[in-house]
Structures are given as structure tokens and as C-alpha cells.
């Protein structure tokens, strides 16, 4: 039984969860744990306008946010601009364990993005440079589960994580012809995560009982360098086609964790007196780690069509994002489960967004733009979730709805000829469940609401 305290340290790939928020429980008897996907994979929409269209922005971008979606579209910027966005996230996890439901919710307000773009005067076409900051990978969350049944008198687990990974991007775009633009950008990803986990387990078998408690704190620094190459084709005045290659990202995960715990087992006689006690105390120990985690190449392709006639002002945008997550590597080796199955899978994201734009008459000689937006996306969870027994290893592949869905709405309002206010709301969710070899079932529903508000000044 005591082998479980160190079992997760024997397989290199099993340490990845410890570094980025996925840790095997280290005490107790057989129970199910559903491992969430590595948070470095999940990238919510960036920028208020893009978020309002569910991230379908590769072909439609015409502002500094093009740096983050398709750097070639930066060439559509006609005036110098500077912009900033504030975001409010509310992630929520609902967990049902051993038939006992629990819900955890966290609210976080931060500076979400900022940037500028500057078009240089050229003899023909366009040449634009820009820089951007983006809170690309939020990692704040709160998780709690508890249950009881059979020989389990009480089991509780609490996980609180704070942190994020920010992206610092610079790039440029130019027109190669009247219908073709190319662009490229470089990105430095840097951030940190702190994760606190506590665990309590009390079991009873006949007159005997056992108690296990543990706590663990992880502090991880996260860094990577990557780049993006994009192209934007305009075959007609009303059609744009965008293609983007997001180059592989090799993250350095460096930090440490402190672990402590105790285990107490007692055998009682018929009168309830302790006849034998086995006690184990695990003094706080500080461990250090450093790993390389490589995320694969991602490809995005999109089409935007501007309607005419009675529908003038309406633009429809569609986008496909492709990634083969089976190519994810930890220190040169692919991430697989004990039965040699890939822990991740290929995934195709589908996004659709629309924007309706019209000018509002403020005075007889002044008109300001009003933009209404909406979007919908299907974003499959790439991780092949598994139910895990602490002592018996991996069991059944979890049953889950793999298609995370995202619904969005947004508005843009011109405050004056040089100032634009944009706001967006997004909602995303998915569900999953897993069963351990002992028959313990865990169900989760993960959802998140976000509000983004941005302000752009153009000279």
C-alpha cells in the first residue's frame, strides 16, 4: 500500500501533470481521479472583437490583434492605432463523486491584452509593424470534491491554482501584390503557476480504521519561444482567405514542490481499544524539477465574406484550426498511457462568426460606427481522459462529451471618429466522466464565462 506515495515519480511523463496542475493523489485507497487536459493546450479567444466572433478572426482581422491570429492581416491596418483590453473570467467546476455533488467557482479580473500597430508610408501597397501583449493561457482555477460510501467514511480533495502565461509578440506584414499579403511574428511566452492541493481520506473496515492526509504546493516557471507565419488573399473586394502556421512551442517547465503528509492505521479489538497502530509521518520535503514540453505545429485557415445588396454591412467568417496533439513531446518522448495509447489525439476546431456594421448619424455631418457580433465554436478536448486508480494504475478511458462548445456575442461602438469601444461575452463548457477499477464514478462539468472590454485609439 505504501508504494503509492512514490508511484507517480517513477514514470517521467506522469510528472507533467505535477508541473502544470495535474497531480496524482498520493494517499488513500482505491478511488477514481479524472485528469484534466494540460492547461497549456487551451487558448481562449484573444481580443474583444475576435472573442465576440468566437475567435473566427484569421481572415477578417484589420487591427493589431492580427499579430495574434494572422500576422499577414496586419497589412490591413490603415492608421496608427493603440489598444488595450480588460478581461473578467469566471471558471466553474461541478464535480459529482460517490454520488455527492460539489461546485467551485472563481472570478478573476486582469489586463487581458494591449498592443499597437503602425503603418509606414510606402510607394505602393502596405507595410505595417506592431507589438502586442496577451494573457494567452489563464491558469486560475478552484477544484473541490468530497464523497463517502462503503468503507470510505470521508474523502476530500481541494486544489487551488493561481497563474497565467503571457505572450509578448512583435511582427510585420506587407503587400506582395494588390491581392496578397504576407506576415510573420515572433512570440515570447512567459509565466508562472502556483498550485496548492490538500487531501484527506478516512476509511473504516469493520472495527479498524485508517487516516491519510497530505498537502502539496507546486511553483512552476513556464517559458517558451515561438513564431507565426501568415498569408491573406483577397481574390475579390468582398472575399478574404487567411492561412496561418503557428510554429511548435517548446516550453521549459522549471520549479519545485513541497510535499508533506501523514498516514495512520489502527486495529481495534471488540471493545474498540487500539491493539496495534501503524503511523507514518512524511516531513515537508522540497523537490526541484526542470522539463521540456513541446507542443506541435498548428494550422488555421479561414474565409470571410462581406455581403452586398440589402445585406450590406454583414460579414460572415468561418475558420478551421488543426492540430495533431499526438505529436506532443516531453523531453523527446511522446505522451502515452501504460497501454501505449497516446494520451492526446488530433483535434479540429470549427469556428463561425458574424459581424453587422452600420454608421449611426450623430449630427448632420458626423457618423459613428456600430458593430454587432455573434459566434459559435466547437473545440474538441484533445486529451484522451482516463479514470485512474491511485494504487492500481490507469483504468477505463473516461466517457465524455469531447466537443467543448463556445458561444459568444459582442458589440463595437464608435465614441468619436478616432476612438472605438469593443465588448464581448463568451461562454464555454464540456462534460466528462470516468470509472475506476473499483467501480467508483466521477463526473465533471467544466464551464467558463468571460467578459472582455477593449478601447482602441486611431490617429
Mean pLDDT in residue range 361-370: 70
C-alpha to C-alpha distances, 387 to 100, 149, 212, 296, 384, nearest whole angstrom = 18, 19, 21, 25, 10
In tens, the pLDDT along 16-54 reads 444 333 333 323 333 444 555 667 888 888 889 999 999
Distance CA 29, CA 16 (A): 23
Give me the pLDDT at residue 401, please: 63
Distance CA 11, CA 105 (A): 32
pTM as predicted: 0.83
Mean pLDDT in residue range 207-213: 70
Superfamily of domain 2-458: Outer membrane protein transport protein (OMPP1/FadL/TodX) (2.40.160.60)
Give me the pLDDT at residue 287, please: 85
In tens, the pLDDT along 293-341 reads 899 999 999 999 999 888 889 999 999 999 999 888 877 666 666 666 6
Distance CA 370, CA 412 (A): 6
Amino acid at each position: 500500500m505504501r508504494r503509492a506515495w512514490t508511484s507517480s515519480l517513477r514514470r517521467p511523463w506522469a510528472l507533467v501533470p505535477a508541473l502544470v496542475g495535474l497531480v496524482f493523489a498520493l494517499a488513500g485507497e482505491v478511488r477514481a481521479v479524472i485528469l484534466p487536459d494540460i492547461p497549456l493546450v487551451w487558448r481562449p479567444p484573444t481580443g474583444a472583437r475576435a472573442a465576440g466572433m468566437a475567435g473566427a478572426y484569421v481572415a477578417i482581422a484589420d487591427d493589431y490583434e492580427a499579430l495574434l491570429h494572422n500576422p499577414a492581416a496586419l497589412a490591413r491596418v490603415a492608421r496608427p492605432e493603440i489598444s488595450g483590453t480588460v478581461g473578467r473570467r469566471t471558471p466553474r467546476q461541478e464535480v459529482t463523486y460517490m454520488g455527492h455533488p460539489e461546485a467551485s467557482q472563481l472570478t478573476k479580473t486582469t489586463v487581458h491584452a494591449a498592443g499597437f500597430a503602425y503603418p509606414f508610408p510606402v510607394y505602393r501597397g502596405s507595410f505595417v509593424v506592431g507589438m502586442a501583449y496577451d494573457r494567452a493561457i489563464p491558469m486560475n482555477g478552484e477544484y473541490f470534491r468530497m464523497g463517502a460510501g462503503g468503507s470510505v467514511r470521508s474523502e476530500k480533495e481541494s486544489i487551488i491554482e493561481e497563474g497565467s502565461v503571457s505572450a509578448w509578440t512583435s511582427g510585420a506584414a506587407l503587400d506582395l501584390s494588390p491581392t496578397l499579403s504576407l506576415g510573420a511574428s515572433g512570440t515570447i511566452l512567459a509565466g508562472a503557476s502556483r498550485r496548492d492541493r490538500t487531501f484527506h481520506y478516512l476509511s473504516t473496515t469493520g472495527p479498524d480504521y485508517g487516516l491519510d492526509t497530505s498537502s502539496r504546493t507546486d511553483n512552476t516557471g513556464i517559458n517558451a519561444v515561438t513564431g507565426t507565419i501568415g498569408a491573406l488573399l483577397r481574390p475579390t473586394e468582398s472575399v478574404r482567405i487567411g492561412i496561418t502556421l503557428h510554429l511548435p512551442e517548446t516550453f521549459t517547465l522549471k520549479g519545485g514542490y513541497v510535499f508533506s503528509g501523514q498516514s495512520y492505521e489502527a486495529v481495534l479489538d471488540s471493545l474498540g481499544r487500539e491493539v496495534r497502530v501503524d503511523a507514518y509521518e512524511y516531513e515537508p520535503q522540497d523537490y526541484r524539477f526542470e522539463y521540456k514540453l513541446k507542443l506541435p505545429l498548428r494550422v488555421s485557415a479561414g474565409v470571410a465574406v462581406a455581403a452586398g445588396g440589402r445585406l450590406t454591412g454583414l460579414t460572415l467568417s468561418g475558420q478551421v484550426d488543426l492540430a495533431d496533439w499526438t505529436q506532443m513531446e516531453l523531453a523527446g518522448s511522446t505522451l502515452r498511457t501504460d497501454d501505449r495509447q497516446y494520451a492526446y489525439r488530433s483535434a479540429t476546431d470549427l469556428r463561425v462568426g458574424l459581424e453587422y456594421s452600420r454608421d449611426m448619424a450623430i449630427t448632420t455631418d458626423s457618423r459613428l460606427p456600430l458593430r454587432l457580433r455573434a459566434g459559435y465554436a466547437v473545440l474538441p478536448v484533445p486529451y484522451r481522459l482516463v479514470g485512474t486508480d491511485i494504487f492500481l494504475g490507469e483504468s477505463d478511458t473516461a466517457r465524455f462529451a469531447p466537443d467543448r462548445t463556445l458561444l459568444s456575442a459582442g458589440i463595437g461602438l464608435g465614441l468619436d471618429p478616432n476612438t472605438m469601444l469593443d465588448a464581448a461575452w463568451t461562454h464555454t463548457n464540456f462534460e466528462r466522466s470516468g470509472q475506476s477499477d473499483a467501480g467508483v464514478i466521477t463526473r465533471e462539468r467544466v464551464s467558463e464565462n468571460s467578459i472582455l472590454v477593449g478601447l482602441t485609439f486611431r490617429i
